[in-house]
């Protein structure tokens, strides 16, 4: 994986990230990604939250065509819970981009992130779009600026790029601090490829890749009003990979972006992988992993480097899944602290002082298996989320 | 409500709380409550966690008779995830109490609280039972000792007593820091009454009272391996109240115990009431209230005295319930900060500097309504749950 390249890594894309003045700090806050084709196939997945921000409602509508010419994103305001006026703001932003690029607004997706409930400063947004159109470029620097323009509580831009040996590649950026359904902060991701793809292939591949990556990072259980993952294909490489090849590489790039989200989550001091094996089904394994990942007693114990397996057993016992408590084993950093329902090896043997913690929960029931990535619950998490409005 | 009396408030009960040496600190750690009759009707509700502690499995079995002579409780160890040996320990404890009182083990419920996964020091437990039988008394002091013997991270004993004008009363104690399904720590409660009740009435009344009280305190969403609420009726007053009268007073005493749990929850700095109105059904109102109560972003914002209604809107949007985002209003401490889907009054007007915070979520959809009590997520919560194994 190459983390120095992102959305401008694949051929056929230009990008920009500029300071439109939406953020009082003067930091970059408006990003534009443009697909110069020749293809326009695109797909998107969106938050399942019933309270959807205006840009999500807009982009869902646009994506019904499975075709995109551009994506415009802003930080500094989520444009959520802003009513019909907020939706008009999103529409006006798409129109402005379309005007600048000479395409239709229906070919422009919009994403926003920041505080909920405030209208965007539209004067700044619209003149920012003009600036961004002028700044569009296809080099690495432009890709980095694009990745930077969407940051909120992120401490660093997060991008990834990988080439396939057959002459096409996938690149992208992400912002946020959670799963596809994050709670800590909105998660936005734009992924580009110069592979030549039809609309069905790109859509199916995105759903499969997010299911195995973005959907399996769970920082604190929620799903924001704005979460969006978009993938755009320019076809500029002239190569048409098989659905399997494309899905595999897309999953790889998505996993690298997710790993960076985990490492930069608010207040993170531990990067935790919770693997559930022996569940009745894969869905039940995911469900159990998420219950444990979201449990505040588990998360605080791991923050304290305490291999408190009793809290893990208690947490997973709440799952709506087939569990035989007498068959349950828990392995923490290689030490089988719970064995077939009762105490196993001395938990003092499990060394959790490092940053990485591996928890394996073996239900010894069926063949369902899944890994959920999460983080600990630290003082810094509480500080960051109580001291500032975000 | 009188908080100086508890389980020995009603006639026909004796209690004791003694130091059996289970806790290294030498604090009181074994409690015995005895029903001297003439009645023995009793009921219990238990954790829904699939990982159930040995005393829960035992007491569920015992309660099938809906008749109890005594309850023995220990702190200093949960006796959960301890296998068949742990169950034998519980059985032996009940046998020991039965022997001391001259009744059958099947008339003795057992409760435990403390660290999961460790066997109890049975020598100390069994000789502690002998001491407790000797110490049994019916005065207020004995009731207070009983309430003290079950404490773990509780900072104070919690009891409540109230007399009905027709000459009977209800008293009880509680320990823990959460709902009937708490996650912070096991919740145990023993409630006594000298009303004359049949088995069906006491069972139905307990389920109705817990549904409206213990089930509506949600500190952090879970349910422990040991949670238990028991109610015992001696009939010593000779008065047989109607089912409605008994349920009403039981609900009142339970609500007072729950209010004390909320006020003594780990790390609490805010006592928060989340009222959902206008939901499609009462169940949906409860579900939405709990989703908001369990949201770490909401809990940290309120810890920071920040009326961040956007986080509340985001949290409730995850509920599996009928919600029209355009009709949603949120009122925090009397200020309508979100009005019909968008920003309402200036949120700066909502003063959250005090300890009590009232959040009203109006869905303007149906007639379902419920109030969930919760607490904030503070530095002290993280400290208490990361620095010590519990």
Both tokens of A137, joined, read 């470029």
Mean per-residue pLDDT, B136-163: 96
Mean predicted confidence (pLDDT) in B257-278: 93
In sequence order, what are the residues at sequence separation of 6 or more whose Cβ sits closer than 8 angstroms to the Cβ of residue B104? B69, B98
Q: What is the least distance, in Å, from the CA of B2 to any CA of chain A?
A: 33
Contacting residues of A for B83, CB less than 8 Å apart:
326, 341-342
pLDDT band, very low/low/confident/very high, at A380 (cuts 50, 70, 90): confident
DSSP state letters, B257-281? HHHHHHHTSTT---EEEEEEEEESS
- Is residue B385 annotated as involved in ligand binding? yes
pLDDT of residue A184: 41
Q: What would the mean pLDDT of A52-81 be, rounded to a whole number? A: 97
Query: And the tokens for B165?
Result: 């004008």
Q: What interface predicted TM-score (ipTM) does this complex get? A: 0.86
CA distance A278 to A367: 5
CB-CB: which of B303, B310, B385 is closest to A116?
A: B310
B175 labelled binding-site residue: yes
Query: Does A117 contact B52 at a Cβ distance shorter than 8 Å?
Result: no
Distant-in-sequence, close-in-space partners of B264: CB < 8 Å, separation ≥ 6: B154, B155, B156, B158, B177
- pLDDT range class, residue A182, cuts 50, 70, 90: very low
The chain B residue lying nearest A345, using CA atoms, is B117
Reported confidence tier of residue B183, pLDDT bands at 50, 70, 90:
very low
* Residue range A299-347, pLDDT digits in tens: 999 999 999 999 999 999 989 999 999 999 999 999 999 999 999 999 9
Residues flagged as binding site of A: 152, 175, 186, 266, 385, 390
Whether pLDDT at A383 is above 80: yes
Nearest neighbour of A50 by CB, restricted to B51, B317, B338: B317
Nearest chain A Cα distance for residue B15, angstroms: 30
Question: What are the structural domains of chain B?
Answer: 13-263 (3.60.70.12), 271-387 (3.10.20.340)
Residue A271's SS3 state is: strand
Asked if the bond preceding A38 is cis, omega within 30° of 0, the reply is yes
Taking a C-beta distance cutoff of 8 angstroms, is the pair B7, B191 a contact? yes
Picking from A77, A382, A390 by the largest number of B CB atoms within 10 A of its own CB, the best residue to mutate is A382
The CA dihedral of A212, A216, A217, A218, to the nearest 10 degrees, is 160
Q: Is B152 annotated as a binding residue?
A: yes
Nearest to A386 among B183, B301, B343 (CB): B301
Query: Using a CB-CB distance cutoff of 8 angstroms, which residues of chain B are in contact with residue A181?
Result: 318
Distances (CA, A) of A75 to A149, A175, A228: 7, 10, 13
Enzyme catalytic residues of B: 186
Q: Do A341 and B378 touch (CB under 8 A)?
A: no
- Please list, in sequence order, all residues whose beta carbon lies within 8 angstroms of the beta carbon of residue B276, skipping any fewer than 6 positions away: B285, B286, B288, B289, B360, B361, B363, B368, B369, B370, B371, B372
Dist CA B186 CA B182 (whole Å): 6
Cβ count within 10 A of residue B134: 10
| pLDDT class of A224 with cuts at 50, 70, 90 | confident
Look at A317 and B51 and tell me if their CB atoms are within 8 Å: yes
CB A173 within 8 Å of CB A7:
yes
Residue A185 pLDDT exceeds 70? no
The secondary element (H helix, E strand) that includes residue B34 is strand B30-35
Alpha helices in chain A (DSSP H): 54-62, 83-101, 122-135, 140-149, 199-212, 243-263, 282-293, 296-303, 309-316, 379-387
| Number of A–B residue contacts, CB under 8 Å | 201
Cβ–Cβ below 8 Å for A183 and B385: no
Which of A349-358, B40-49, B219-228 is least confident? B219-228
In this predicted model, what pLDDT tens digit does every residue of B298-356 receive, in sequence order? 999 999 999 999 999 999 998 999 999 999 999 999 999 999 999 999 999 999 999 99
Task: Measure CB to CB from residue B342 to each of A82, A326, A377 and give the nearest one.
Answer: A82
Q: How far apart are CA A193 and CA A171, in angstroms?
A: 6
Q: What is the pLDDT of residue B266?
A: 81
CB-CB under 8 Å, A49 with B310: no
Q: Which residues does A346 contact at the CB level (< 8 Å), separation at least 6?
A: none
Higher pLDDT: B89 or A48? It is B89
Site from B284, B317, B326, B340 to mutate, A interface, most A CB atoms within 10 angstroms: B317
Tell me chain A's radius of gyration from C-alpha atoms.
21
Contacts of B303 in chain A (CB under 8 A): 382, 386
Mean pLDDT of A188-200: 97
Query: What does residue A13 show for φ and ψ, rounded to 5 degrees?
Result: -125, 140
- A320 CB-contact burial (10 Å; exposed 0-12 / middle 13-18 / buried 19+): exposed
Q: List the single best residue of B53, B54, B57, B296 to mutate versus A (max A Cβ within 10 A).
A: B296
Distances (CA, A) of B122 to A292, A338, B114, B269: 32, 22, 15, 38
Q: Where are the alpha helices (DSSP H) in chain B?
A: 54-63, 83-101, 122-135, 140-149, 199-212, 243-263, 282-293, 296-303, 309-316, 379-387
Shortest CB distance from B51 goes to which of A52, A116, A313? A313
**Nearest alpha carbon to residue B108 among B133, B85, B127, B84:** B133
Binning pLDDT at 50, 70 and 90, where does residue B383 land? confident
Give the closest of B85, B224, B310 to A81, CB-based.
B310
* Residue B173: Cβ within 10 Å count: 32
Task: Say whether B379 and A383 touch across the interface (CB within 8 A).
Answer: yes
CA-CA distance, B58 to B108, in Å (whole number)? 9
Which residues have a Cβ under 8 Å from the Cβ of A173 and sit 6 or more positions away? Answer: A6, A7, A143, A146, A147, A150, A157, A158, A159, A160, A189, A190, A257
Contact (CB<8Å) A49/B314: yes
User: In terms of CA atoms, which chain A residue is nearest residue B296?
Assistant: A220
Sort strands B108-112 and B70-74 into parallel, antiparallel or unpaired.
Answer: parallel
CA A304 to CA B260: how far, in whole Å?
28
**pLDDT at position B180 over 90:** no
Q: Which of A57, A153, A342, A377 to mutate to test the interface with B (most CBs of B within 10 A)?
A: A342
Structure confidence at residue B224 as a pLDDT band (50, 70, 90): confident
State the nearest Cα–Cα gap between A301 and chain B, in angstroms: 5
Q: Is residue B181 scored above 50 in pLDDT? A: no
pLDDT at residue number B335: 97
Catalytic residue among A47, A113, A186, A210: A186
């Amino acid at each position: 994986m190459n983390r120095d390249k992102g959305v401008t890594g694949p051929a056929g894309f230009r990008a920009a990230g500029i300071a439109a003045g939406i953020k009082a700090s003067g930091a970059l806050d408006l990003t534009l990604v443009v697909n110069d084709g020749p293809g326009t196939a695109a797909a998107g997945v969106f938050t399942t939250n019933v309270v959807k921000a205006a840009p999500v409602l807009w982009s869902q509508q646009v994506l019904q065509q499975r075709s995109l010419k551009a994506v415009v994103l802003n930080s500094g305001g989520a444009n959520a819970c802003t009513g019909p006026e907020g939706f008009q703001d999103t529409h006006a932003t798409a129109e402005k981009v379309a005007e600048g690029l000479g395409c239709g607004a229906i070919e422009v997706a919009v994403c926003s992130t920041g505080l909920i409930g405030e209208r965007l400063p539209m004067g700044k947004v619209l003149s920012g779009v003009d600036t961004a159109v002028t700044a569009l470029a296809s080099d690495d620097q432009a890709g980095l600026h694009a990745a930077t323009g969407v940051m909120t509580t992120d401490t660093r831009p997060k991008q990834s790029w990988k080439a396939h040996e057959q002459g096409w590649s996938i690149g992208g950026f992400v912002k946020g601090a959670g799963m596809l359904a994050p709670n800590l902060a909105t998660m936005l991701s734009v992924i580009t490829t110069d592979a030549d793809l039809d609309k069905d292939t790109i859509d199916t591949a995105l759903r499969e890749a997010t299911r195995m990556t973005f959907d399996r990072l769970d920082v604190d259980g929620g799903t924001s009003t704005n979460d969006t993952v978009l993938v755009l294909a320019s076809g500029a490489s002239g190569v048409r990979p098989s659905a399997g090849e494309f899905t595999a590489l897309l999953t790889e790039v998505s996993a690298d972006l997710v790993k960076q989200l985990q490492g930069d989550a608010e207040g993170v001091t531990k990067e935790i992988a919770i693997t559930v094996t022996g569940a009745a089904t894969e869905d039940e394994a995911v469900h159990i992993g998420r219950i444990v990942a979201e449990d505040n007693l588990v998360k605080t114990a791991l923050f304290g480097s305490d291999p408190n397996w009793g809290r893990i057993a208690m947490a997973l016992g709440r799952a709506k899944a087939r569990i035989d408590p007498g068959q349950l084993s828990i392995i923490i950093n290689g030490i089988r602290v719970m064995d077939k329902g009762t105490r196993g090896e001395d938990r003092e043997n499990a060394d959790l002082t490092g940053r990485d913690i591996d928890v394996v929960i073996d239900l010894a029931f069926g063949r369902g298996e899944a890994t959920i990535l999460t983080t600990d619950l630290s003082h810094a998490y509480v500080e960051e989320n109580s001291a500032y409005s975000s």
